[in-house]
A and B are shown apart, each in its own frame.
Chain A
Amino acid sequence: SAVISQKPSRDICQRGTSLTIQCQVDSQVTMMFWYRQQPGQSLTLIATANQGSEATYESGFVIDKFPISRPNLTFSTLTVSNMSPEDSSIYLCSVSGGGNEQYFGPGTRLTVT
């Protein structure tokens, strides 16, 4: 299994600002995924991040709003740009395990005021 940590665990931000969320994995992984979970809702995939290439975004998510970096095989960042209250969510990163399962980080709880 993979152990995933995220920073910050939570934050309260003002509208119009940006927040960068970090995801660190304890082993090298090819693919990392970023999800959003809005209050009371299920998880929605934002993008898939491969090391050394541009992230692949899902429908409804764009790079200008959610830029992603993947500088190496154990680390990724997701930035939530020009935030509005609608961006208040839990943001989670995950990685694929060797047996097709995915492991998730604890999440970053973002509140935009």
Chain B
Amino acid sequence: DAKTTQPPSMDCAEGRAANLPCNHSTISGNEYVYWYRQIHSQGPQYIIHGLKNNETNEMASLIITEDRKSSTLILPHATLRDTAVYYCIVRVKGSSNTGKLIFGQGTTLQVKP
């Protein structure tokens, strides 16, 4: 199973872009990169995922390097409500092909006024 490495914490000024890095150097060719976030006392929320191409949705953009060994989640205009723990996860396929998610420690993003 590919592992991910994220900085434990980051700060961002409100209204600025938040760029959250993730290393996944052992990712295999059929594994996707997923991003979730967990706001305090809530269940994790899906943000975005990608395989090799950059992706954008209404919440964020995901930039994956060409060698797929790292990625960056971009929140273009961070607000105070974006303060959360952000998890970068590589989707694993177990023997039953469940697509289960393995969570690391994530990055605690603090958006400051």
A-facing residues in B55-113 (Cβ within 8 Å): 87, 91, 94, 96, 98-106
Q: Which residues of B contact A31 (CB under 8 A)?
A: 98-99
Give CA–CA (A56, B105) in the complex, Å: 24
Q: Mark B36-48, 1 if CB is under 8 A from A, else 0.
A: 1000011111100
Q: How many residues of B contact A (CB 8 A)?
A: 23
How big is chain A's contact interface, by range?
Answer: 20 to 34
Report chain B residues within 8 Å CB of A97. 46
A61 vs B91: C-alpha distance in the bound complex, in angstroms? 21
Q: Identify which of A44, A48, A96, A105 contacts B43 (C-beta below 8 A).
A: A105
* Inter-chain contact A45/B102, CB cutoff 8 Å: yes
Interface contact A44-B46, CB-CB below 8 Å = no
A78–B87 CA distance with the chains assembled, in angstroms: 25
Q: Evaluate contact between A101 and B42: CB separation under 8 angstroms.
A: no
Chain A residues whose C-beta falls within 8 Å of the C-beta of B32 in the assembled complex: 100
Q: Which residues of B contact A68 (CB under 8 A)?
A: none
Interface 0/1 of A13-46, CB less than 8 Å to B: 0000000000000000001010100000011110
Neighbour of B46 across the interface among A48, A103, A105, A107, CB < 8 A: A103
A42 and B100 contacting across the interface, CB-CB below 8 Å: no
* Contact with B105, one of A4, A42, A106 (Cβ below 8 angstroms): A42
Bound-complex Cα distance A35 to B103 (A)? 10
CB pair B49–A106 under 8 Å, yes or no, is no
Are A104's CB and B98's CB within 8 A? no
User: With A and B bound together, what is the CA distance between A85 and B42 in angstroms?
Assistant: 22
Binding site for B on A (CB under 8 A): 4, 31, 33, 35, 42-45, 48, 56, 92, 94, 96-97, 99-107
Listed A/B pairs (8) with beta-carbon separation below 8 Å: A42-B87, A42-B104, A45-B101, A96-B99, A101-B34, A102-B101, A105-B43, A106-B42
Q: Which residues of B contact A (CB under 8 A)?
A: 32, 34, 36, 41-46, 49, 87, 91, 94, 96, 98-106
| With A43-B44, A48-B100 already in contact, 18 other A-B pairs whose C-beta atoms are closer than 8 Å | A35-B103, A42-B105, A42-B106, A48-B98, A56-B94, A56-B98, A92-B43, A94-B44, A97-B46, A100-B34, A100-B91, A101-B34, A101-B46, A102-B36, A102-B46, A102-B101, A106-B43, A107-B43
